[in-house]
Amino acid sequence: MITRIAAKQVKELSESFKAIAIVGPRQSGKTTLARDVFNGKRYVSFENPDNRRFMTEDPRGFLEIYQEGAIFDEAQRVPELFSYLQQILDENPARGQFILTGSNNFLLQENISQSLAGRIAYMYLLPFSNKEAETLMGKRQTLEEAIFKGGYPAIYDNNIPPNKWLPNYISTYVERDVRQIKNISDLATFEKVIKLCAGRIGQLLNMSSLAIEAGVDSKTIASWLSILQSSFIIYLLQPHHQNFHKRLVKMPKLYFYDTGLVCSLLGIAHVDQIPLHPQKGSLFENFVINELVKERFNNNEPHNLYFWRDNTGNEIDIVIDKGTSLYPVEIKSGKTVTSDYFKNFDFWNKITGTTEGTVVYGGDQIQKRSNGITILPWNDINTL
């Protein structure tokens, strides 16, 4: 086991807030993180039906046992908990009393916003970053290994082949978690939609096209995509709004929180298949953006990543919004730097008046170019 990068921020939040919610996909390490940082607290899992029943039937009696605080795992399973916690937190000024974990962002946020707003801090925990995975392994990964394995801790902790573990994760998610969020009767079509999404990573989201191919209506697609977002399977990267007198694309781009999951859904059975796969560039782009998102979340910083594209096709893969300035990043899977890597910067710098940016690429050398552009290897992305 390793100490997660997010551990420092979780500890700091517990010194300022009465309760902490650690939210992220199932099997991302939320429980392990909570029990590691708060090893003196009692632990309760609401996956256990006896604990759920006790809390539901006698909430006051249940919480009387944990007046000094506790870790409540999968708290969204017992929505009755939150109203009773409100009173306890209001009566006790102590910080860091309760640590709640949850794998369903929608249900957890809904309950928290109704009862615990202002009393609780959020921490989003995604699967391992590449840096964390390599620390646990004690060695460097190749780019293809990092993409193929993804970041779910169980794959690294138990040395389970990704092509064995990930299909079971998908099946468990579809059969169990989806039913908790919404009782979908046609699970086969829902799983088909997940696979269709995997084939569209890095593309503009076209729900009409997705609906036609899946054989359902657009409202159903919108509902199902919302489920996939709330359970941390996919996320939508939004376009940046600054137009520089250009008409902009308004549709978001579709990405997955884990590239190993995408590989499994695409039927990639071995790491050696990635270099020749038609989705190689999109997988690399998804991987790089994931690493940037994890870097922000692990440091408890808000999501500030966008893309920029006008209606004539000029595009920047990532725009980092720093509040007072925009920083452009291009993502190129090739291992050899070519003049094509700088083409989009020429247009961007012309309309913004800036002369800086970074290319994240599949190679291994850091370069500082005279045009103000930094060439950054994929495995040094945490320095961006």
- In contact, 76 and 102? CB cutoff 8 Å: yes
Render the burial of 165-195: b for 16+ CB within 10 Å, e for the rest: bbeebbeebbeebbeebeebeeeeebbebbe
AA letter at 244: F
pTM: 0.93
- In contact, 298 and 283? CB cutoff 8 Å: no
- Structure confidence at residue 245 (pLDDT): 66
- In contact, 274 and 283? CB cutoff 8 Å: yes
Single out the residue of 94, 106, 103, 105 nearest to residue 70, CA to CA: 94
- Structure confidence at residue 228 (pLDDT): 92
The terminus-to-terminus CA distance of the chain in angstroms comes to 27
Q: Are strands 253-256 and 234-237 parallel, antiparallel or unpaired?
A: antiparallel
Q: What pLDDT, in 10s, does the model give residues 218-231?
A: 999 999 999 899 88
Sequence-distant (6+) residues with CB within 8 A of 159 are none
Angle CA(135)–CA(136)–CA(140) in degrees, nearest 5?
50
Structure tokens at 109: 């946020």
- Structure confidence at residue 317 (pLDDT): 97
Sequence-distant (6+) residues with CB within 8 A of 260 are 147, 148, 149, 150, 151, 152, 155, 162, 166
| Rounded Cα–Cα distance for residues 181 and 106 (Å) | 8
| Rounded Cα–Cα distance for residues 352 and 357 (Å) | 12
| Rounded Cα–Cα distance for residues 288 and 118 (Å) | 34
Residues of the chain with pLDDT under 70: 106, 180, 245
- In contact, 201 and 254? CB cutoff 8 Å: yes
Angle CA(152)–CA(188)–CA(233) in degrees, nearest 5?
25
In the beta sheet, which residues pair with residue 255? 235
| Rounded Cα–Cα distance for residues 143 and 297 (Å) | 22
Q: What pLDDT, in 10s, does the model give residues 41-78?
A: 999 999 999 999 999 999 999 999 998 899 999 998 89
- Structure confidence at residue 202 (pLDDT): 97
Mind listing the domains of the chain with CATH numbers?
A: 7-124 (3.40.50.300), 130-284 (1.10.10), 308-383 (no CATH)
C-alpha dist (Å) from residue 234 to 53, 195, 197, 227: 32, 11, 9, 9
232-237: which pairs have CB atoms within 8 A and are 24 or more residues apart?
232/24, 232/25, 232/28, 232/103, 232/105, 232/126, 232/257, 233/25, 233/173, 233/194, 233/257, 233/261, 234/197, 235/293, 236/205, 237/289, 237/305, 237/306, 237/307
Determine whether 113 is exposed, middle or buried from the number of CB atoms within 10 Å of its CB (0-12, 13-18, 19+). exposed
